């Protein structure tokens, strides 16, 4: 699938990237591309190789094998040009606690070779985008974790890089801060390409255009969010009735493929996606006096999809679909 | 780019009380030594007056002052260099430098120059003491310049070694202790030369940091001494660059 992309237009091209630490292989043969203006979610359980990949993309780790092209520049051969296109926020924001926000961002602007005359504007812009205007003169060490994270993001976008790499940007934040950071990432996605690594699934759903799942160092899934949504469509209904009929009665309703008794009153009904039997079930319940009190169309949660993809082999992951056929 | 890293190192030193404390303590100790040296000079002055080609105040006051300064700073420099890289590694701020468009060499030289700038500042403050003698006498400026050069080179060597030790670990204390140990060892290397075989002792003495400094303190400007320090500095800076590179590369 990755070969379908026109190679020249991709902002980031990663080819057969591998890296091992001693005998442990952290990342094995990972290839993907990121287009301009795309938000790519990088999902994976803990220890799957997310951070290692992010570190390699940002030039903090040299790949054991493979190639990384950023905007056409090879990260190993032309590190300065390539790194100029990248803003990176590691898992732990790389902030100096003894500096104020203004001093710190000023330093970052200089490090990223922003012209002296433009530094002030760049700092002001980054602060405004990350909601830091009111804390500019405070010491970073005295800021809350959420604000430190924002300072970290401000640092990553100060030189307006084409690609922003964020490694687990919402870890350790409270729900309100998480929402704010997500909104910020979506906003970033309008002008920059963003790679977002996380193990929080709803985050990917909320923010990203495309999702990649990495497990045990290998890329196991890559699709658009719409594709992931489709995958989550399941074909079962959970029924709860005080006076359930015999299973045969349920099976006789058009579209019903199988019935599982979950408990005395609860039944899970698998149906043909082409022919949703919900309405017939309700009508049958009324006429048959089943005392139906719950009818829940089930969706496969993102967690289930995730577990399916990462924990089982591919054939097993297809099971719901096979049942439906 | 080097200057940006250096500037930031220098500024962060002054943001914490560390730099001020070190400046104050060093100045106080050396001032005391300076005064006791003056007192000594006052005592022997009558005898000096009777001697032919008697040593001047530069030799009697300035040379011991700079000699003492080197010993005091041998204790101080490890404290300045210990956090250079280890602290950044521990706080995971190194990735800020690694992901910026900077080469490893620029990072290392920047940090080195930052501390060297601070030590030069300290040296200027020490230099004020002998210069104050100008109000009551004259100084041998050639000798003073040679002593200053010697001290600067010596301190830069301390810094380069400290920087390397700091790049090896994530614990500033470990970096400080190892730097101090290594410096002290290099300092006393020539102690063995008196008792040991002349040939082996000669090499050890040649490697000793203090031998080359003593020559410069006496006002003997020998290019071999200068080259020794420059090589020393370059060696440890290159080792630091390689150590940082090794962090990234797969072993």
Residue A160 sits in the same domain as residue A59? yes
pLDDT score at A284: 84
Chain A partners of B97 at a C-beta cutoff of 8 Å? 111
Look at residue A219 and tell me whether its pLDDT is greater than 90.
no
Mean pLDDT, residues B177-188 taken together: 92
pLDDT score at A181: 85
Residues 6+ apart with CB under 8 A from A252: none
| Confidence label for B194 from pLDDT (cuts 50, 70 and 90) | low
Q: Is A53 on the interface with B (CB under 8 A)?
A: no
- The C-alpha angle with vertex A125 and arms to A124 and A131, in degrees rounded to 5, equals 85
In three-state secondary structure terms, A307 is helix
Phi, psi of A297 (to 5 degrees): -70, 125
- Interface contact B250-A155, CB threshold 8 A: no
Closest CA relative to residue A203, chosen from A240, A238, A228, A235: A228
In three-state secondary structure terms, A294 is strand
Chain A partners of B244 at a C-beta cutoff of 8 Å? none
Residue A216 sits in the same domain as residue A239? no
Residue of A nearest to B102 (CA): A80
SS3 per-residue string spanning chain B? CHHHHHHHHHHHHHHCHHHHHHHHHHHHHHHHHHHHHHHHHHHHHHHHHHCCCCCCHHHHHHHHHHHHHHHHHHHHHHHHHCHHHHHHHHCCCHHHHHHCCCCHHHHHHHHHHHHHHHHHHHHHHHHHHHHHHHHCCCCCHHHHHHHHHHHHHHHHHHHHHHHHHHHHCCCHHHHHHHHHHHHHHHHHHHHHHCCCCHHHHHHHHHHCHHHHHHHHHCCCCCHHHHHHHHHHHHHHHHHHHHHHHHHHCCC
The CATH number of residue A282's host domain is 3.30.70.100
Q: Is A76 on the interface with B (CB under 8 A)?
A: no
Contact yes or no for B186/B111 (Cβ under 8 A): no
Helix axes B104-132, B83-90, angle to 10 degrees: 140
pLDDT score at B112: 96
Is residue A159, in this structure, part of any structural domain at all?
A: yes
Residues 6+ apart with CB under 8 A from B217: B63, B66, B67, B146, B147, B150
Taking phi first (over 0 means left), then psi (-120 to 50 degrees means alpha), and beta for anything else, what does residue A267 get? beta
Is residue A318, in this structure, part of any structural domain at all?
A: no
Chain A partners of B94 at a C-beta cutoff of 8 Å? 94
- Chain B: nearest CA to A172, how far in angstroms? 17
Of A83, A91, A96, the CB nearest to B101: A83
Of B8, B94, B100, the CB nearest to A112: B100
Residue A174 sits in the same domain as residue A121? yes
pTM: 0.82
Residues 6+ apart with CB under 8 A from B227: none
Residue A119 sits in the same domain as residue A181? yes
Residue A223 sits in the same domain as residue A252? no
Is residue A249, in this structure, part of any structural domain at all?
A: yes
Most A-contacting residue of B6, B15, B96 (CB-CB within 10 A), to test interface = B96
Element (H, E) at A283: helix A278-288
| Confidence label for B251 from pLDDT (cuts 50, 70 and 90) | low
The CATH number of residue A42's host domain is 3.40.50.300
pLDDT score at B236: 96
Closest CA relative to residue B104, chosen from B251, B246, B229: B246
Look at residue A274 and tell me whether its pLDDT is greater than 90.
no
Q: Quick one: CA torsion of A252, A253, A259, A263, rounded to 10 degrees?
A: -110
Mean pLDDT, residues B177-204 taken together: 75
Chain A partners of B8 at a C-beta cutoff of 8 Å? 107
Is residue A310, in this structure, part of any structural domain at all?
A: no
Mean pLDDT of chain A: 83
Residues of chain A numbered 82-101 and touching chain B (CB < 8 Å): 83-84, 86-88, 90-92, 94-99
Helices (H) and strands (E) in chain A, counts: 13, 14
- Chain B: nearest CA to A220, how far in angstroms? 24
Taking phi first (over 0 means left), then psi (-120 to 50 degrees means alpha), and beta for anything else, what does residue B83 get? alpha
Closest CA relative to residue A300, chosen from A323, A278, A281, A282: A323
- Interface contact B250-A19, CB threshold 8 A: yes
Residue of B nearest to A112 (CA): B100
Q: Is A78 on the interface with B (CB under 8 A)?
A: no
Residue A222 sits in the same domain as residue A272? no
How, if at all, do strands A73-74 and A218-224 pair? Answer: unpaired
Taking phi first (over 0 means left), then psi (-120 to 50 degrees means alpha), and beta for anything else, what does residue A216 get? left
Is residue A283, in this structure, part of any structural domain at all?
A: yes
Residue A226 sits in the same domain as residue A257? no
- Chain B: nearest CA to A5, how far in angstroms? 27
Q: Is A64 on the interface with B (CB under 8 A)?
A: yes
More confident residue, B13 or A306: B13
Of A92, A98, A111, the CB nearest to B12: A98
Residue A284 sits in the same domain as residue A180? no
Q: How far apart are CA A154 and CA A89, in angstroms?
A: 9
| Confidence label for B200 from pLDDT (cuts 50, 70 and 90) | low
Closest CA relative to residue A58, chosen from A189, A170, A198, A163: A163
Instruction: Give the domain ranges of chain B.
Output: 2-248
| Confidence label for A192 from pLDDT (cuts 50, 70 and 90) | confident
Residues 6+ apart with CB under 8 A from B123: B148, B151, B152, B155
Residue A154 sits in the same domain as residue A222? yes
Look at residue A1 and tell me whether its pLDDT is greater than 50.
no
- Chain B: nearest CA to A40, how far in angstroms? 20
Please give the tally of structural domains in chain A.
2
Residues 6+ apart with CB under 8 A from B147: B62, B63, B66, B216, B217, B219
If you ran DSSP here, which 8-state letter would residue A9 be given? G
Residue A208 sits in the same domain as residue A265? no
Strand-pair partners of A210: A40, A224
Range with top average pLDDT, A249-258, B201-210, B231-240:
B231-240
pLDDT score at A5: 44
Look at residue B75 and tell me whether its pLDDT is greater than 50.
yes
Tens-digit pLDDT profile for residues A277-307: 888 888 888 888 888 888 887 776 666 777 7
Q: How far apart are CA B223 and CA B33, in angstroms?
A: 30
Tens-digit pLDDT profile for residues B89-119: 888 888 899 888 888 999 999 999 999 999 9
Look at residue A119 and tell me whether its pLDDT is greater than 80.
yes
If you ran DSSP here, which 8-state letter would residue A116 be given? G
Percent of chain A residues topping a pLDDT of 90? 18
Tens-digit pLDDT profile for residues A246-258: 888 888 887 787 8
- Interface contact A111-B249, CB threshold 8 A: no
Contact yes or no for B82/B166 (Cβ under 8 A): yes
What are the Cα distances from residue B119, in Å, to B16, B65, B113?
16, 16, 10
Residue of A nearest to B248 (CA): A61
- Interface contact B12-A63, CB threshold 8 A: no
Q: How far apart are CA B169 and CA A253, in angstroms?
A: 71
Most A-contacting residue of B12, B97, B101, B103 (CB-CB within 10 A), to test interface = B101
Of B8, B92, B99, the CB nearest to A86: B99
pLDDT score at B80: 92
Q: How far apart are CA B178 and CA B86, in angstroms?
A: 13
Question: Which pair of tokens denotes residue A111?
Answer: 């490090």
In three-state secondary structure terms, A2 is helix
Residue A211 sits in the same domain as residue A261? no
Contact yes or no for B124/B69 (Cβ under 8 A): no
How, if at all, do strands A266-271 and A256-261 pair? Answer: antiparallel
Percent of chain B residues topping a pLDDT of 70? 95
Q: Is A110 on the interface with B (CB under 8 A)?
A: yes
Q: How far apart are CA A50 and CA A75, in angstroms?
A: 18
Domain range enclosing A140: 2-230
Tens-digit pLDDT profile for residues B129-154: 999 988 877 888 888 999 999 999 99
Contact yes or no for A260/A323 (Cβ under 8 A): no
Closest CA relative to residue A132, chosen from A116, A143, A118: A143
Question: Which pair of tokens denotes residue A259?
Answer: 């019935």
């Amino acid at each position: 699938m990755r070969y379908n992309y026109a190679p020249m237009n991709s902002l980031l091209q990663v080819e057969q990237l591998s890296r091992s630490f001693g005998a442990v292989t952290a990342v094995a043969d990972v290839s993907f591309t990121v287009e301009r203006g795309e938000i790519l979610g990088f999902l994976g359980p803990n220890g799957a190789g997310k951070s290692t990949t992010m570190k390699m993309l940002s030039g903090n780790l040299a790949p054991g094998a493979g190639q990384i092209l950023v905007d056409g520049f090879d990260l190993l051969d032309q590190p300065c040009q390539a790194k100029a296109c990248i803003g990176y926020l590691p898992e732990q924001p790389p902030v100096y606690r003894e500096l104020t926000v203004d001093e710190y961002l000023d330093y970052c602007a200089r490090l990223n070779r922003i012209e002296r005359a433009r530094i002030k504007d760049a700092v002001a812009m980054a602060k405004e985008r990350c909601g830091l205007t009111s804390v500019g003169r405070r010491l970073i060490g005295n800021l809350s974790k959420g604000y430190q994270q924002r300072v970290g993001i401000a640092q990553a976008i100060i030189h307006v890089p084409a690609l922003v790499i964020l490694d687990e940007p919402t870890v350790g934040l409270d729900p309100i801060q998480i929402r704010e950071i997500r909104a910020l990432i979506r906003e970033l996605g309008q002008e920059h390409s963003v790679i977002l690594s996380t193990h929080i699934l709803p985050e990917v759903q909320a923010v990203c255009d495309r999702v990649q799942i990495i497990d045990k160092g290998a890329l196991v899934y890559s699709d658009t969010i719409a594709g992931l949504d489709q995958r989550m469509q399941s074909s079962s209904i959970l029924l709860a009735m005080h006076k359930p009929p015999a299973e045969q009665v349920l099976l006789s309703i058009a579209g019903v493929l199988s019935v599982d008794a979950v408990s005395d009153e609860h039944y899970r009904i698998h149906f043909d996606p082409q022919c949703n039997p919900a309405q017939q079930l309700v009508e049958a319940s009324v006429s048959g006096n089943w005392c139906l009190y719950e009818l829940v169309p089930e969706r496969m949660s993102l967690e289930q999809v995730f577990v399916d993809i990462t924990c089982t082999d591919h054939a097993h992951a297809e099971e719901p679909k096979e049942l439906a056929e | 780019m080097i200057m940006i890293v250096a500037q930031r190192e220098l500024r962060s030193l002054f943001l914490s009380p560390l730099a001020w404390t070190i400046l104050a303590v060093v100045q106080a100790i050396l001032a005391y030594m300076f005064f006791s040296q003056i007192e000594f000079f006052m005592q022997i002055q009558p005898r000096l007056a009777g001697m032919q080609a008697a040593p001047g105040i530069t030799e009697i006051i300035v040379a011991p002052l700079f000699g003492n300064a080197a010993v005091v700073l041998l204790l101080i420099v490890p404290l300045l260099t210990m956090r250079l890289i280890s602290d950044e590694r521990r706080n995971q701020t190194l990735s800020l430098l690694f992901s910026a468009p900077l080469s490893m060499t620029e990072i290392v030289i920047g940090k080195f120059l930052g501390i060297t700038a601070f030590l030069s500042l300290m040296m200027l403050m020490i230099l004020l003491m002998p210069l104050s003698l100008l109000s009551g006498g004259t100084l041998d400026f050639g000798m003073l310049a040679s002593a200053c050069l010697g001290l600067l080179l010596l301190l830069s060597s301390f810094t380069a070694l400290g920087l390397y030790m700091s790049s090896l670990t994530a614990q500033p204390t470990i970096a400080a202790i190892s730097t101090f140990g290594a410096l002290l060892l290099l300092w006393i290397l020539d102690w063995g030369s008196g008792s040991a075989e002349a040939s082996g002792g000669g090499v050890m003495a040649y490697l000793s940091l203090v031998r080359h400094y003593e020559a410069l303190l006496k006002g003997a400007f020998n290019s071999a001494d200068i080259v020794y320090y420059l090589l020393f500095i370059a060696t440890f800076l290159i080792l630091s660059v390689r150590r940082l590179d090794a962090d990234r590369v797969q072993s």
